[in-house]
Each structure stands twice: as structure tokens, then as C-alpha cells.
Structure 1
Amino acid sequence: MAANTHHTVAIAQVTQILQGAVQRGLDVNALLQRAGISPSLIDSPLSRVTQGQYAALMLVLRRVTRDELWGLCSRPLKLGSFVQSARMLVHCRTLGEVLTEGFQFYHLMLDDFVPRLQVSQGVATVRLTHRVALTPQLAYAQRTFGFYSYGLACWLVARRIPLLDVIYPETDTQYKTDAGRLFQAPLRFERDSMGFRFEASWLDLPVVQTPQSLTEFLRQAPASLIIKYRDQTSLTERIRRLLRRSLAQELPSLEDVGHALAMTPQTLRRRLRDEGQGYQAIKDDLRRDVAIEYLGRPELTLLDIANRLGFSEASTFHRAFKAWTGVSPGAYRQTHF
């Protein structure tokens, strides 16, 4: 059994990225089906899709809308903009140059919001400020631009840049869970801006990628940006890897996990709380993500999957999966295929 399990993507992310297509009157059901996503999942607010399905949807929307921000802004972001910027930025010397020159490039391409790098008192702040009224479509475009700017920057310097915090507009408090998981950093809310902060010393990191490595990176994008720089050393990820090896049996208690990681239960709880997590939520999320992974394998019966997840009966697994996603495992499998 693989030690790692990819996190799944909330259906709310799917409905948000579709906002531009909806506004244009496009056939959303057809777009979802082209990405391998059942349209019926949209009606279940707890349902989730795989990272591969979400990446496929981004590519489908990009082709149909002829827009690298999927019709979310007032003017399309021309196809090829990301590739052109990446080919330019791979020749920069440092992370600071990457952010400065990259944002200058996008100043010419974007009308609705502007990205800026500010440095003050040893802290670097990337801030996205909207130039027009902040609609739900524009808010999602800004959040996505911020995340992919961060992902590309991490790739260019070949390491995850630790963030001090992530800044979201006060109107976006409902997305705090997703943001925390994507950026793996604390959130704070301000009135009118979005961005993230990190120690300014990281701006001196050298760019280590080359035009040759860029070719492979672009071949795998956007999927590579979704998962590449998740912090595998975070306590949450360490626990997920530990539990993944024990899914078929009774999962270890919090005390057992603490012993395996050389921590007291009190320290474990505190550190998980600092990451915005709880032990029960980690167990449930892991089982849900693995279940979705297994449901994509037609050779496994529902009973096989239940046993692999440590459920003694298929009916118990059925109830748990429906509680996690809002649909039964059988119905999910039917929509998946």
C-alpha cells in the first residue's frame, strides 16, 4: 500500500472555478463530463473530486474559454501567458527577482487586480489588490493567482517557502479551511486584499531550475502546482503517512501516535491545533480520501474497500462515506464511471 494519499478537492472549488463558464452560458454539465466529473456531484455540497479531475477541469475550461483564468475576470488572460512568464522567470537569479519581474509582467496582462511585492521590517508581503468591484468570480481568480504564484516560486527555488500567514478578504471567511490546507499556514483576514507573508530573507534564495527542467514542469502543469509543494514534514502529513500503513486494522489512538512520534498527547494536540487540525478529523479525511481513490479502481468491490479501510461491514463503510461526502459509495462509483 502506498504511504502517501493525495488530498481530494472540495466540490465548492469546482463550483467556484465554473463561475465564468456559467456567466457565459456554457454547457457546464458537458464541461464537467469532459473532465471526468459527474454533474450530479455539484448537487452534493459535501462531495469531493480527485486532484486529477480538478486539474483536468482547469485544462478543459482553459481550452473552451480561451482564458487562463477561465472567464472569471472582465478580460481574458491570454493563452500562453503562464508559459511565457515561466520561461522568463527561470532566468532570474533569486526569488526576489522572480516575484518582482513576474508581477511586472502580469501588470501588463491583468486589468481587474494587481499583484505587488512589498518588503518592510524583515517581512516580505505579496499582496493582490483589486481594481474593480470584488465579485465572487474575481475573488476566486485572485485566490487562484496567489496560490499558483506561490507554487511557481517554490518550484523555481526547489523548496517550499514557509509562510508566516495568508491574507484573505473578510468576505472570504467561508474558505478558511481550504486556504489553510492549500498554503499550510495560518490565516488572517483584512478588509480588501488577498496575499501572503514570509520572512524577507527567503528573497535571496537562488533560482536553481533550468530551461531544461522547465520543459518537464510545464508538461505536468497544472497538476504539478496543486500537489508539488505541500509540506510533507508537517505534523498532519506525518500522521497521515503513519495512519495509511494501518488503515486495514484498528487505527492507533492519539497516545499511540504520540509515542510513535516521540511526543506527549498534550504536545500532539497543541501542535495539531496550531495547524488547524484535530486527530479525529485527520482520520476521517484520510479514510475519505483513500476511499475515493479506491472507488476509482473498478476491480475492488465495496466490501474490499470497506475491509481495506478497517470497516468490519460494508454497511458501516456505506454510512461513513455518505456522512463524509453526502453520497453513497455506490452512487459515487456510478458517477465516477
Structure 2
Amino acid sequence: MNEVSVSARKFHRLFDYLKRLELDVDAIAARARLSRQRILKLDEAETIPGQHYSRLYKEAVVEMQTLKQPLPWAAGVGSEAFELMCHCMIGARTLGDALVLAVRYEKMVYPMIGHRVCLDVEGDTAILGYHIRFTERGAALVPDNWDRADYQDTVAKASGLLIWHALCGWLVGESLAIEQANISAPFLNSAYHESLSANFHSKVLFDAPDTNFSFSAEQLERRIVHTVDSLREFLENAIYQLILIERKPASTSAAIKSLITIDLAVGLPSFSDIAAQLHMSESSLRRRLQGESTSYQQLKDEVRCQVAIDKLLNEDSKVADLSDYLGFTEPSSFVRSFKNWTGETPRTYREKIQALAQDLS
């Protein structure tokens, strides 16, 4: 992953918030493998790796859940409810299907978590709405002496909508192109407005009738490019992953490799199939891959090599079965390709790795 950084100010604000909730901030930081005292000595403008903030936020959410109150910030990211919802969504084929599942899930648990999404399609436009039932000022997770207590509605709604925009982008492997983001809460300040506009990559309107963002309904047909395995990695560093998808262009190569892996059991998708699933023309996709110094053939070979090695070592698969599974016309073609990938035949490779494992045991 390309590293992104977070200002020390965000750490300082989170520490202060947790302290006002009367939680053990030092213990939370220690579980995230961080020193609160060292971070507090940093100038607010200094930057810290985003993965550190992600770990801290996740541990903070775990601790906040012990207060038995709905988590109003950032759509509940890091909570058990958020993780279960993601597991519900990951089995869907398209973004639209995943969002329908999310709507059903959050409608069911809304009495417990206090927020939910909805999806409406009006002609060629899709609208993702975010609703939150907010607690009174001074409640468990909104301390009365917190500097953002007066703007709790704005922060809760904007952060929740931002997480949904980023999550949609992660699911399809590319930041979702939206027309406008609307926040049904007051304007906070210019810096916050500019930050939201940069993350949404669109204009942001405050004091709107509803909290939502609109986008082309065509994007609902985009394929989900992740699997249960990549979801586990995502949930381990959810905040970092969501920051990453907003700040850095997603790798088309990674999205294609995920799509190939997902469809491998039913056959290798053609280049035109991949272009259609990514909602790109074939010429645009070729240019994108050239920009990433790769090709569709190279990506197919990388996936097939990874899958072949995994099945050889962990499932004791036979060469003939692997050849058929990976789309080769005959076993000899698979053996030649495997030797080009690894420098050895499947049998020699497996025997060498097994012998290494025996020597280490």
C-alpha cells in the first residue's frame, strides 16, 4: 500500500475526545502500539503514518462500545455492526446489489446503532442518503465540554456520508464519481468545508433538506472487485483504507486481479468483459494499464501463478486439475507456463517447498 500520513493534530483531538469520555486513553494508545505522551509532544502540523491513526481509532471504537451507546461518528466504522454489514455486502456482485443489502441490514439494526443508509434511483441518477438519530447534547458520546459539541450534527452527518462515499469506492476499486454532496446541518467553517470538498471530489452544500450524495445510476452496475479475504485485510485497517481510496487513485491492476480471481472458477473473463465491468472503453483500459506498466496478459499470469502455487502447496492439487481450473487447454501448456513463471515445473516446485518446510520443522 502507498503510505499516507495524518497530522498529529488529529491524534491530539482524538486523545482529547476520549479523555472527555473518561476513558483510559493511555491504555487505548498502548493497545494500538502507540505512546500517547510522545505523540502529544509533537507539533500539531507534524505528520504520522495513517496506519497508526487507523489502529488508534479502531481501539478507541472498541472502548467506546463498552459505553453501550450508539456510535454517531463516521457511520460506525470500526464497530462490530459496521464489520458485520461489510460481510453482508461483500458477497454481492455489483455495487447496487451491495447497497441494497446494506440498506436492509441497517434498517434492521437501526434501533441499536442509530443511523442507516437509503438508496433511491431517479431516472439516470442514484441518490445515497444517510440518516442519523442523534442523541442529546451532553449524552455519553457527546460530552458537553467538547469543543465540537455545538457542531455535533454537522460532524456526525458529514463524517458518516464521507465514510459511505469511501466504502463504495473501495468496493469497486475506484473513488465513486459523485455530482454533489448535501449535508442537512449547519456550515462549520471554511477549512472543514474545503476538506470535505477535496475528499468528495465535488461541491458540498450545507443546510440541505437531506444528507446524501448523487451519482450516475450506471455506476450501480460496477462489479465488486473484492473478496472475503481482502475484506478481512480492509477491516483490520478500515480507516487507513478509506483514507487511501479518497487520497490516492485506485490501482486498476489490483481491481482487475480481484475480478479475475472472483471469476476464475467459471472461466477467465475476456478483456472486453473486464472493460465492461469497470465501465471503461477497451482503449481507455489499455492506456490505464500502460500507465501502470502492465498488461492484461501479465495480470492474468500473475493471478494464475498465485492460485497455482496456493493449490499446489495447500490443497495438493493434481497438475491436470490445476490446468483445467486455470483455463489451459492441456496440462502440458500449464506446465510450460508454470516453468516460465517460477523457473521450475509444478512437481519440482512443490517438492522443493515441502522439503524446506520439513527442514524448518
TM-score range, shorter chain: 0.5 to 0.7
Using the alignment, how far apart are the partners of 1:99 and 1:17 within structure 2? 33
| Aligned match of 2:188 | 172
Contact 1:166–1:188 (CA<8 Å) still a contact in 2?
yes
CA distance in 2, matches of 1:139, 1:191: 11
Contact 2:182 2:208 (C-alpha < 8 Å) held by counterparts: no
Letter in 2 for 1:227: L
SS of residue in 2 equivalent to 1:53:
helix
Structure 1 match to 2:202: 185
- Partner residue in 2 for 1:81: 81
Q: Quick check: 2:182–2:204 contact (8 Å CA) kept in 1?
A: yes
- Which residues of structure 2 form unaligned runs of 5+? 138-148, 251-361
- Greater RCO, CA 8 A, separation 6+: 1
Aligned partner of residue 215 in structure 2, secondary structure: strand
- Checking the alignment, whether the CA contact within 8 Å between 2:54 and 2:237 is kept in structure 1 is no
**Higher share of residues assigned helix:** 2
User: Quick check: 1:122–1:199 contact (8 Å CA) kept in 2?
Assistant: yes
C-alpha distance 91-5 of structure 1, shift in aligned 2 (>3 A): closer
Which residue in 1 is equivalent to 2:98?
98
Aligned-partner Cα distance in 1 for 2:15–2:155: 7
CA contact (8 A) 2:180 2:203 kept: yes
RMSD over aligned Cα, in angstroms? 3.9
- 2:4 is matched with 6
Matches of residues 28-43 of structure 1 in structure 2 within 5 Å? 28=25, 31-32=28-29, 35=32, 36=34, 38=36, 41=40
Moved more, 172-181 or 10-19: 10-19
Query: Which residue of structure 2 lines up, in the alignment, with residue 59 of structure 1?
Result: 58
Unaligned stretches of 5+ residues in structure 1: 234-337
2:161 is equivalent to residue 140 of structure 1 = no
Q: State how far apart, in whole Å, the 2-side matches of 1:71 and 1:18 are.
A: 20
State the 1:72 CA deviation: 4.3
How far residue 89 of structure 1 moved from its aligned partner, in angstroms, is: 0.9
1:68-96 Cα shifts (integer Å, max 9, x gaps): 9996449x969422222122111212211
Deviations along 1:99-154, one digit per CA (max 9) or x if unpaired, are 22212212233343332222224222222233346864454343333223222222
| Deviation (angstroms), 1:157 | 1.8
Identity of aligned residues (%): 20
**In the aligned structure 1, how far is the partner of 2:240 from the partner of 2:68?**
16
Q: Which residue of 1 aligns with 2:121?
A: 119
* Deviation (angstroms), 1:202: 0.6
- 8 Å contact kept, 2:126–2:217: yes
Cα distance, 1:55 vs. partner? 0.9
Q: By how many angstroms is 1:221 displaced?
A: 2.7
**Alignment size in residue pairs:** 229
Change (3 A) 1:38 1:214: closer
Q: Provide the rounded CA distance (Å) in 1 between the counterparts of 2:182 and 2:7.
A: 21
User: Quick one: structure 1 residues 218 and 56, their matched pair in 2 at CA, closer, same or farther if it must change by over 3 Å?
Assistant: closer
Deviation string 1:162-200 (CA, Å, 9 cap, x unpaired) is: 122222333334411221232232222234543322111
* Counterpart pick for 1:24 among 21, 25, 32: 21
Q: Distance in 2 between the 1:147 and 1:32 partners?
A: 25
Which protein has the larger Cα radius of gyration, Structure 1 or Structure 2?
2
Alpha-carbon spacing, 1:226–1:200, altered in 2? closer, same or farther (3 Å): same
1:147-296 maps to which residues of 2 (within 5 A)? 147-168=162-183, 169-174=185-190, 175-191=192-208, 193-232=210-249
TM-score (norm 2): 0.52
Question: What residue is the counterpart of 2:141 in the other structure?
Answer: none
Partner of 1:302: none
In structure 2, do the counterparts of structure 1 residues 93 and 67 end up closer, same or farther at CA, with 3 Å as the change threshold?
farther
TM-score between both structures, scaled by the size of structure 1: 0.55
Tell me the distance in 2 between the aligned counterparts of 1:84 and 1:126.
Answer: 20
